[in-house]
Amino acid sequence: MNSITNELKELFDRIPRRHSTENVKDIYIIITEYEDVLINIEAVNSFYEKNISTYFDEAENAKAAIKKSTDNKASKKNKDGFFDEGSGILKESMQNVIDFFGDGKRTN
């Protein structure tokens, strides 16, 4: 397993499960670090560069859902739901990248 895959797995394991102000801050940090890893994957070779863009979109979707979980007008239940949605998008995206990237040696 290479360092990028290890970093993705570490980020995945850090994703919080429950909505709280602290967890919202943490998940934003994790998303930023995830986007940095995606940039590193893009730099591996042209295959990854061409195929990684969809994961940036998923990170943005996760951010949008997390942002909704901070709306003061939303009920606690809705905030929890939005947070769960965002963290779920992020987890699924990271798992997909781990599977897609593999050992980092794909060229086609």
Question: Domain coordinates of the chain in residue numbers?
Answer: 3-101
Q: What is the pLDDT along the chain (108 residues), one digit of tens a residue?
A: 689 999 999 999 999 999 999 999 999 999 999 999 999 999 999 999 999 999 999 999 999 999 999 999 999 999 999 999 999 999 999 999 999 998 888 888
Tokens of 28: 């934003």
The separation between the first and the last C-alpha atoms of the chain, rounded to the nearest angstrom, is 20
Tokens of 22: 């602290």
Its sign, for the CA torsion 75, 80, 83, 84, is: negative
Task: Answer yes or no: are the C-beta atoms of 19 and 80 closer than 8 Å.
Answer: yes
- In 3D space, the residue among 65, 4, 14, 10 whose CA is nearest the CA of residue 37 turns out to be 4
The Cβ of residue 68 has, within 10 Å, a number of other Cβ atoms equal to 16
